[in-house]
């Protein structure tokens, strides 16, 4: 399973998961086995592209997104594209977030979840 984490820098599992999903410049990627994959540059609509971030990631084979927060529309898009979404607390590193997911400590986001400051 390919898992993506919004991050500020191109590489490094010790960096913190970004506080914001869509406008993060990069997505760190890890396989289900915990090995780092190639990072994905965010070329979505937030950066002048034509796709939304969830579409971009789903097109790259991502099956789960672990982030600090995302808007309700992004949660809906995850369901549409069969991508699981999970939230971790601010300050969590990519490696810590992966370990929490692997241990089954994260609840899957569902419609209605997401940052309430984002509009639909």
Q: Which residues contact 30 (CB under 8 A, 6 or more apart)?
A: 2, 3, 5, 13, 36, 37, 94, 98
Would you put residue 34 in left (φ > 0), alpha (ψ -120 to 50) or beta? Answer: left
What is the structure's pLDDT at 115? Answer: 65
C-alpha–C-alpha distance, residues 95 and 26, integer Å: 16
Contact indicator for 7, 94 with CB cutoff of 8 Å: yes
When pLDDT is cut at 50, 70 and 90, the band that residue 12 belongs to is confident
pLDDT digits (tens, 9 = 90+) for 22-65: 999 999 999 989 899 999 999 998 888 889 999 999 999 999 99
pLDDT digits (tens, 9 = 90+) for 62-75: 999 999 999 899 99
What is the structure's pLDDT at 112? Answer: 64
C-alpha–C-alpha distance, residues 12 and 48, integer Å: 25
State the pTM of this model. Answer: 0.91
pLDDT digits (tens, 9 = 90+) for 90-106: 999 999 999 999 999 99
Domain annotation for the chain: domains and CATH numbers: 2-102 (3.30.420.130)
Distance of alpha carbon 62 from the chain centroid: 9
C-alpha–C-alpha distance, residues 48 and 68, integer Å: 23
């Amino acid at each position: 399973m390919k898992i993506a984490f919004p991050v500020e820098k191109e590489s490094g599992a010790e960096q913190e998961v970004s506080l914001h999903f869509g406008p993060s410049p990069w997505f760190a990627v890890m396989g289900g086995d915990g090995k780092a994959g190639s990072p994905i540059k965010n070329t979505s609509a937030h950066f002048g592209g034509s796709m939304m971030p969830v579409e971009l990631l789903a097109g790259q084979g991502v099956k789960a997104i672990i982030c600090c927060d995302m808007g309700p529309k992004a949660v809906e898009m995850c369901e549409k594209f069969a991508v699981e979404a999970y939230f971790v607390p601010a300050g969590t590193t990519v490696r810590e977030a992966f370990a929490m997911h692997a241990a089954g400590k994260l609840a899957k986001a569902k419609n209605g979840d997401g940052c309430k400051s984002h509009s639909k």
